[in-house]
Structures are given as C-alpha cells and as structure tokens.
Structure 1
Amino acid sequence: METKSADLAVLGGGPGGYVAAIRAAKLGIKTIVIEKENLGGTCLNWGCIPTKAFYHVAERIEEMKKSQIFGVETGSLSFNFAKAMERKDRIVAAQRQGLAFHFKKNNIELVRGAGRFSSSESLDVEAENSQTIKVNAKNIIISTGAYAASVPPFILDGSQIIDNIGILSLSEVPESLLIVGGGVIGCEFANIFGTFGSKVTIIEILPRILSTEDAEVSNVITKVFEKKGIRVLTGTAAEEVNKSGGRLSCRIKGGEVIEADKILVSVGRKPLSSGIGLDSAGVETDDKGFIKVDLHLRTNIPNIYAVGDVIGGLQLAHVASDEGKIAAENIAGKEKTMDYRVIPWAVFTSPEIGTVGLNEEQAKARGYRVCFGIFPFSNSGKAYITGETEGFVKIVTDRDTGEILGAQMVGPRCSDLVHEVAVAMKGEMVIDSLAETVHSHPTLSEAVMEAAEDCFGLATHFSR
C-alpha cells in the first residue's frame, strides 16, 4: 500500500475544501486534497457556475425580447439550447483548469479517489486504479458536501424525475416542467426554463415560495413569475406520480392532475457524511447526519475540522469557502471564528434578490426596536434607463443605536448591490454613514443610499 504524509489532508475538493487547501498552502502548510470526482464540487460542476451560465443566457433572451423599447429591431428571435449547453460546459471546464493551475502553483497534491477515515490521523483512499493509498495527516478537514434530497412520491430516476444535476444535463428544453419545491434552486430553474420556453409549474408545501426570504421579496417574485406564465401553487403537495407514454402526471392535494415532460425535485439537501468512516475517527454528527463543529470549525476531535454543506447551516458556496479559510487559519494557529452575522446571499431570478443579516420580522423577534428604510426601483432614474423597475431596496436598523441589522432587496443587479450593505455591517457602520455617502448619479446603487435616507424620512425621490 502506498503511503503519503502531509500536515493537512482535505477530504473533498469543493468550494470549502479547495479554498481551505489553497489558504493552508499559502500559510506554509503541506497539504493533500482527496477528491473522487472533479475539483470544484457541486458549485462548479453542477450548481452555482453552470446554473448562472444558463441564467445569463436567459437574461440575454429577456433583453432581446424587450429590445424594441430601446429602438433596437432584432427580427425573429431563436434560441439554440445545444449551443447554450456547450458554452456552459466550456465555462465549467475553464474553471476546473483554473483550479488545477492554483493547486500546482501552491504545491498542493491531489489524490484522486474516495477517502475514508481509518483513524483520527489517517485516511484510506480507494484510487481510480483500485489501488489503496494511505494518507497520514496531522490535521484533517472534512468538506464532503451534500446531495439532493428526494421525497415521496418522487423517486429520482435520472431521466424524467431529476435533480439539479439531471436538469443541467438535458439534451433539449422540456416542453413542460414541474418543479417540486419553491426554494432557491426551484425558483432559479423556474426562471431559467420558463425563459427558455418551458411551461413551468412550481408546487410548494409552504404558504409562499422563497420562504426564507422577506415576505415582500417573495411576493415580488411570485407576481413576476405569474406575469411570465410560470404557475405558482403554494400550500400544496404531491400525492401521486404516474408515468405513461413518456409523460408524467402528478396528482396534487385537492385532486388536480398536472402533466409534465420532466419533474425537477428541489426539496433540500442531505449531508454526505456516511460512508467516510467517521466512526473510525470518533467524529460526532447530529441526528440528521450533519457533522457537529464549533465556531472554530473544529469537530469533537481536536485535529479534525469540518466545513461547508456537510455541517449544515447556510448551505452556500461562499459560506463554505469562508469556513474553509477559517479552518485553515486555525490549523496555522491563528484561532479565528466564523462570523455568521454578516453573510450576504443572492437568488438569481429575474429580478435578482440580495439579502444580508436580519429582515424586519426577524429583528423584531430578537427584541430590537426596528426602523427600516425602503426605496423602490420604480423611482430610480438608472432603473428607468435600463427598463428594470421591478422591486425595491429595504434596510433594517436598530432605531435606538442606528446599527444596520440587515437588508433585503429585489431588483436589477441586487446580487451585487447587497454587498454595499454587507461591508457597512462588517465595518460596524451606522445607517447615517450609508445615507451620507455620496453615490454617483445615475446608478442603481443610489437605491441603497435613498433607502438609508428613508430610515430618517429624508429620501429625495421617495415619500411614503
């Protein structure tokens, strides 16, 4: 049996694992990464990157459809799904090559295969050639990620009833698509394939889609979806699924039957923590299989850390990456902790959603005397210029201290705009600072400034 040794072994090469490895290597730690598939994990290969590649194709289609209002005559519009798929694959391949370059540049060794703990300081890797490689390491970071969950009566078959991996591998746009679950993944794919030409229906068991977002944000997306012809059914669930003649039929609560060519199941994700020998290392998990960690990302075994989707919480690529950095810094002796108070995230629907911190309801539940400011994009000169006037920016503050507690926004480029508020929160700025910062005109970022001004009732272009 071949044996390799390092200061750090990282089990899993997704956004938590590869970022941890690069940070550790830059800190002078000899690092080995164990990965059985392609580097980049779900995010690069079957999630963030390919999905957003499709999203930007959908954005171009929407722009072309309304180009006449700008005086641009395009004639008949056609869409080549195969070329869009090829472009998506090229983007993913280029990003993989980039990661390989960074590994080589930082002298990170990649061991390909499925890793399993044999002790708290060693892993056995079943390599591609059926050879077993033993990796010994003083410290280990677990970043094995998560996989798409399924719920009865939906059984994933990889062809008709599919998950996020399956829908990114289709050979053609389905004529009709039923999406089970109105969370982030479901709504992003509804937006994409609705624009691509599919007849889309979303069924969601909760009272509204995007239930983790502010209710006002959720309402904007629901109305936009309905305008686009995307059917949104909330407070309902599937009771039976049948296959006949290459088509699917789904009977939902109340008796209605919905027919579809494909069904996308997007009802959450489960941790990839079984089958990696956690018992041999003594690592503890909760009752759902998520690995338990403290704010240093340490498990109950002092030399073993865990990051990313496998520990639960906010299952976002950039959260996993930050956790990876913190874990690597701690292995280097820096004793850092995660700050989950300021985690921005985005939902790539059209219009986009940007969120950070607490919403109004959450802030009130924590006992704050809440003050909020709001600014609609319909009052923004730049939004009128671009023809994107749906949505708003809302900033939530502590009335007593001026502390910025969070922001919720839905509208053009909100996936980027939200970071202005995130930086202000991280820097512990008060709302006055945002309100008094001069913003260039005309820009979408003025909406952030005016929302901050509205906290004092002083917005120039908006009056409640």
Structure 2
Amino acid sequence: MTMSSPPTETDVLVVGAGPGGYVAAIRAGQLGLDVTLVDADAFGGVCLNYGCIPSKALLSAADVVHDAGHRESMGIYADPYVDWDELLEWQAGVVARLTDGVKALCRGAGVDLVDGHARFVDEHSATVTTPDGTDNDLAFDRAVVATGSRAVELETFPFDEEAVLTSRDVFSMADVPRRLVVVGAGYIGLELATLFAKLGTEVRVVEFEDDVLPGWDDELRGLLREHLESLGVEFAFGQRATGCTVGSSGVVVSTAAEDGTETDHEADRVVVAVGRQPVTDTAGLEHLGVETTERGFVDVDERCRTSLDHVFAIGDVAGEPMLAHKASAEGHVAAEVLAGQDASMANRTIPAVIFTDPEVATVGLSETDADDAGYSPVVGEMPFGANGRALTADSQEGFVRVVVDAESDAILGAQVVGADASELVGELCVAIQAGLSPAAVSATVHPHPTLSEAVMEACADALDEAIHTS
C-alpha cells in the first residue's frame, strides 16, 4: 500500500509516477537517496494505465481476432466471437499486474510512495494533498517534475466520457461501437482505427491534412494508409472537424473542407486524437519559477535540468518526442545527475513506433533527412517478401531499410515496416548508438528463419553484398 501521509522532508521529491517519474525515483533510490514519489492518479501514469499498455493489450487481442478470421490462404476458416467485457477484464488484469510491479519495485528501492496531489509552494517546499483532503507540508532538497501530458480538447468537441471520447476513455467503453469516427490521423488515431477495424467497427478517420501521419516519410505513410484502407478504414482528408452533435442515436461530426464544403459524419462515438499537451498547470510550477517554452513545455538542458539547478523535468512535460521510452531514459539521466553522477541525454538514440498493421518503426535519419543534413546517404533495403520467416507467417508486407553515411560508414537511421517492426528496430537502435558499421551488423550471424535476418540483409545491401535480395 502507499503511505497514508507523506513524510515532512525528503532528499528528492518526484511529482508524477509515469514511466519517467517512477524510473527516476527507483534509480535515485538505488543511488542511496531518500526519495518520495507522489502521484494523484495512478502509479505507472497514463502509459501503464490508460495508454501504451491497455492499447497494446487490446491491439494484440484484435490481431488474434483478425488473423483467425482472415487466414483462408492457409486453409484456416474461423469466425471469432469477442466478449468485450471479458476482454476488458483481461486487459485490466495486465495493467494491474504491471502497476503492482511498479509499486513493488519502488518499495524495493526504498522509495516512499504517496497517493496525493503535490503542488510546489517555493523552491524547496511543496504541499501534498492526500485523498482525504489533508494538506501536508513537504520540504525537499531536489525535485523532479514528471507531470506528463493530457489529450488536447477541442472547444467544439467537449469530452463527455460516453459519446465524445479521449483515447483513454476507449478502455472503459460499454461495448464495441458499430460506427466510430476518429478525429486525427496521428499515431494514436491510427492505432485506434486499426484496433476497432479489426474488431468489426466501421471506422472513419477525419484529418485536416492530406494524408496520415503528417510530417512522416511519404512512402511509409502511403503504405500504411493503403493497408488501413484494406481493413475497411475510411479516410476523410482535407477536412477540419468543426463540431459535433450528440443525440439519442449517436453523434454527428461536422467537418469543413478548405473550399467551404461541409460534411456530416454519423457514428455511435467519436474519439478526438488531435495531440497532447504538457500538464504544467496543476503542480504550482509558477512558484518554482522554472522557465517554459512557447509551447508550454518546461525548458531543460541535456541533463534534464531546468532553469533551477536543483529542479529537473522529464517526460512529456519536458518536450518532444512525447514517448514513454524517452521519459524513462530521462528519468535515468535526471536521477544520476542529481546524485552527482555524469549523465546526459545528448546523442541518445530514440526510436518511434506506431503499433498499427503493419507496424511502423523509425530511428535516426531518413535518406532525405541525411541528405539535408549534409551526409552522403547510401540506402540498403530488404523486403519481407523475400524473408523466409515472413512468408511462413503470411506476413510478407513491408521492409527493413537502413541509411548509411558513405563517408563515415556509420548507420545514420533505419525504417522498418511490417510485422514485429517494434521488436526489430531495437537492434538498429543499438547499432546507431554504438556507432556500428553496416558491415558489423551484416557479419553478425542471425538465427534462421527469423525476421531479424532482414536487418542483416538490409545492412549487407547497403554494401552491395546482399544475398537474398537484388
């Protein structure tokens, strides 16, 4: 159990127990510091409780449903039935196991866990309000701000937890909607579109831009869009969502095109996924006096230190990319720096993954980015259509691509599209972080038959030495 009341003083106060905050707390505890971790919602943060973990649990279940019902090419015929309540119960069990694990790990590192809302009073003190309404004074020597982010709410789409939803509301819906409108074609919107399309929902994605994943590589966007369309997802590009009307029969989402054309989209529910914003208005940061950027993020240096030497900020509140693994890495750095060690986020290799179908994973520079940065990029690629394991799993869509600098022979970046891209990109992250050459990767014996051989072959292709692709 968490503490009924916080201590009166601590070496390190960590505000927010998401993947950045709890990692910072555990690492600081391992380094011998007295640490107090305060969270007003749920230990594990949005990621563990309402985002990464529950969404991937449901996506895994949707994959099972879809794969079982679409494997006629293998001679398999099935019509799966999904009990939504039982599925949510299983997903909740996964979440509970992990959140309990986080608490146990914190306690094992000597961290004091406090259920409560922490608000800074000045540079070295905070007030912690516990669930019973009691205010407790807490003095600290150093602090880590890890308050995370929240979904952007559009003025014309007020959230109601029933018809107009945030991504986190999805995991408490009473049933699987027959029709769903998703506002926003970013990674969150596309993951939800994938999930519900595979569960049989009629999904329409509304996006003001002219394609999915604004800002991503055109080829990756096109491949993903085409596959989502093959799942039955409809796209309404070039349409700005202007409002919605909720009635007894569902919700009507109104959109307007640039030429003034207006369209109504009928659905049972709408999920608004137009982005996230840092939570900087609940912890009394104004009393600390830390500096923020124009977008509202807490300004930090490469050591995660704010404008105050003894205050650090990590995770979503500290800026892009707003990713759980980036937050955890920053948690490590912040804890080690405040404990007097030499650590930094400089030159860290941070991948980005979209858990759609197919999965998309990128790290480092694309060929265009490398060229724009003044490198001499050489590209090596291996299609999964030539990979034995991909064919035996009937998952031959996609490729592994590496971008290499011809002058330094260093791997600058990689893009992976296909089954298990989220797993395969890890090897390429190691290669980039360690400064490995494509020769070092291609000379490493990879097990056969596996998808990982595509990484080896892509690196060999960059050297014009590929065996299984031309």
Same fold (TM over 0.5): yes
Hey, what's the Cα distance between the residues in 1 that align with 2:348 and 2:285?
30
Is 2:237 aligned against 1:230? no
How far does residue 243 in structure 1 lie from its aligned partner after superposition? Answer: 2.6
Would the aligned equivalents of 1:341 and 1:357 in 2 still touch at CA under 8 Å?
no
Would the aligned equivalents of 1:116 and 1:276 in 2 still touch at CA under 8 Å?
yes
Is 2:113 aligned against 1:110? yes
Hey, what's the Cα distance between the residues in 1 that align with 2:32 and 2:406?
46
Which amino acid counterpart does residue 53 of structure 1 have in structure 2? A
After superposition, the Cα gap between the structure-2 partners of 1:340 and 1:314, relative to the gap in structure 1 and judged at 3 Å, is farther
Is 2:118 aligned against 1:148? no
After superposition, the Cα gap between the structure-2 partners of 1:249 and 1:24, relative to the gap in structure 1 and judged at 3 Å, is same
Hey, what's the Cα distance between the residues in 2 that align with 1:129 and 1:256?
48
Match of 2:104 in 1: 101
Cα offsets for 1:267-301 (capped at 9, x unmatched) = 11111111311121111112222111100100011
How far does residue 433 in structure 1 lie from its aligned partner after superposition? Answer: 1.3
Hey, what's the Cα distance between the residues in 2 that align with 1:86 and 1:3?
36
Partner of 2:239: helix, strand, or coil?
coil
After superposition, the Cα gap between the structure-2 partners of 1:365 and 1:97, relative to the gap in structure 1 and judged at 3 Å, is same
How far does residue 112 in structure 1 lie from its aligned partner after superposition? Answer: 1.5
After superposition, the Cα gap between the structure-2 partners of 1:377 and 1:12, relative to the gap in structure 1 and judged at 3 Å, is same
Would the aligned equivalents of 1:271 and 1:310 in 2 still touch at CA under 8 Å?
yes
Would the aligned equivalents of 1:43 and 1:317 in 2 still touch at CA under 8 Å?
yes
Partner of 1:256: helix, strand, or coil?
strand
Hey, what's the Cα distance between the residues in 1 that align with 2:117 and 2:249?
36
Would the aligned equivalents of 2:194 and 2:357 in 1 still touch at CA under 8 Å?
yes
**Which residue of 278, 281, 285 maps to 2:285?**
278
Hey, what's the Cα distance between the residues in 1 that align with 2:132 and 2:320?
36
How far does residue 132 in structure 1 lie from its aligned partner after superposition? Answer: 1.0
Match of 1:217 in 2: 220
How far does residue 73 in structure 1 lie from its aligned partner after superposition? Answer: 4.6
**Which residue of 27, 31, 45 maps to 1:27?**
31
Which amino acid counterpart does residue 39 of structure 1 have in structure 2? F
Hey, what's the Cα distance between the residues in 2 that align with 1:434 and 1:12?
39
Match of 1:265 in 2: 272
Which amino acid counterpart does residue 292 of structure 1 have in structure 2? D
After superposition, the Cα gap between the structure-2 partners of 1:441 and 1:80, relative to the gap in structure 1 and judged at 3 Å, is same
Match of 1:37 in 2: 41
Hey, what's the Cα distance between the residues in 1 that align with 2:77 and 2:287?
66
Which amino acid counterpart does residue 85 of structure 2 have in structure 1? A
Is 2:393 aligned against 1:421? no
Q: How many residues are matched?
A: 462
Is 2:88 aligned against 1:77? no
Moved more, 62-71 or 136-145: 62-71
Which amino acid counterpart does residue 442 of structure 2 have in structure 1? A
Cα offsets for 1:14-41 (capped at 9, x unmatched) = 1110000000001111100111111000
Match of 1:205 in 2: 208
Which amino acid counterpart does residue 39 of structure 2 have in structure 1? E
Would the aligned equivalents of 1:378 and 1:389 in 2 still touch at CA under 8 Å?
yes
**Which residue of 381, 402, 416 maps to 1:409?**
416
How far does residue 92 in structure 1 lie from its aligned partner after superposition? Answer: 0.9
After superposition, the Cα gap between the structure-2 partners of 1:2 and 1:192, relative to the gap in structure 1 and judged at 3 Å, is closer
How far does residue 413 in structure 1 lie from its aligned partner after superposition? Answer: 0.7
How far does residue 245 in structure 1 lie from its aligned partner after superposition? Answer: 3.0
Match of 1:194 in 2: 197
Partner of 2:429: helix, strand, or coil?
helix
Normalised by the length of structure 1, the TM-score is 0.96
How far does residue 87 in structure 1 lie from its aligned partner after superposition? Answer: 0.5
Would the aligned equivalents of 2:179 and 2:203 in 1 still touch at CA under 8 Å?
yes
Q: Where do residues 436-447 of structure 1 align in structure 2 (5 Å cutoff)?
A: 436-447=443-454
How far does residue 93 in structure 1 lie from its aligned partner after superposition? Answer: 1.0
How far does residue 2 in structure 1 lie from its aligned partner after superposition? Answer: 7.6
Match of 2:332 in 1: 325
Match of 1:461 in 2: 468
Hey, what's the Cα distance between the residues in 1 that align with 2:186 and 2:286?
33
Hey, what's the Cα distance between the residues in 2 that align with 1:339 and 1:386?
39
How far does residue 146 in structure 1 lie from its aligned partner after superposition? Answer: 0.6
Hey, what's the Cα distance between the residues in 2 that align with 1:274 and 1:442?
52
How far does residue 212 in structure 1 lie from its aligned partner after superposition? Answer: 4.1
Hey, what's the Cα distance between the residues in 1 that align with 2:6 and 2:94?
35
**Which residue of 354, 365, 387 maps to 2:361?**
354
Hey, what's the Cα distance between the residues in 2 that align with 1:141 and 1:333?
15
Q: Where do residues 362-441 of structure 1 align in structure 2 (5 Å cutoff)?
A: 362-441=369-448
- Percent identical pairs in the alignment equals 35
Hey, what's the Cα distance between the residues in 2 that align with 1:12 and 1:240?
33
Hey, what's the Cα distance between the residues in 2 that align with 1:213 and 1:393?
16
Hey, what's the Cα distance between the residues in 1 that align with 2:264 and 2:131?
46
Moved more, 275-284 or 61-70: 61-70
Which amino acid counterpart does residue 434 of structure 2 have in structure 1? G
Hey, what's the Cα distance between the residues in 2 that align with 1:158 and 1:171?
11
Structure 2, unmatched stretches of 5+, are none
Would the aligned equivalents of 1:278 and 1:284 in 2 still touch at CA under 8 Å?
no
Moved more, 16-25 or 198-207: 198-207
How far does residue 340 in structure 1 lie from its aligned partner after superposition? Answer: 5.0
Moved more, 449-458 or 299-308: 449-458
Hey, what's the Cα distance between the residues in 2 that align with 1:341 and 1:106?
26
Match of 1:182 in 2: 185
How far does residue 59 in structure 1 lie from its aligned partner after superposition? Answer: 1.1
Match of 2:50 in 1: 46
Cα offsets for 1:62-109 (capped at 9, x unmatched) = 2211344334454x3211111111111111111111112112212211
Say what the alpha-carbon RMSD is for the aligned residues: 1.5
Partner of 2:414: helix, strand, or coil?
strand
Hey, what's the Cα distance between the residues in 2 that align with 1:340 and 1:169?
39
Would the aligned equivalents of 1:217 and 1:409 in 2 still touch at CA under 8 Å?
no
How far does residue 3 in structure 1 lie from its aligned partner after superposition? Answer: 5.4
Would the aligned equivalents of 2:18 and 2:45 in 1 still touch at CA under 8 Å?
yes
Would the aligned equivalents of 1:2 and 1:132 in 2 still touch at CA under 8 Å?
no
Which amino acid counterpart does residue 205 of structure 2 have in structure 1? I
Normalised by the length of structure 2, the TM-score is 0.95
How far does residue 152 in structure 1 lie from its aligned partner after superposition? Answer: 4.3
Partner of 1:168: helix, strand, or coil?
helix
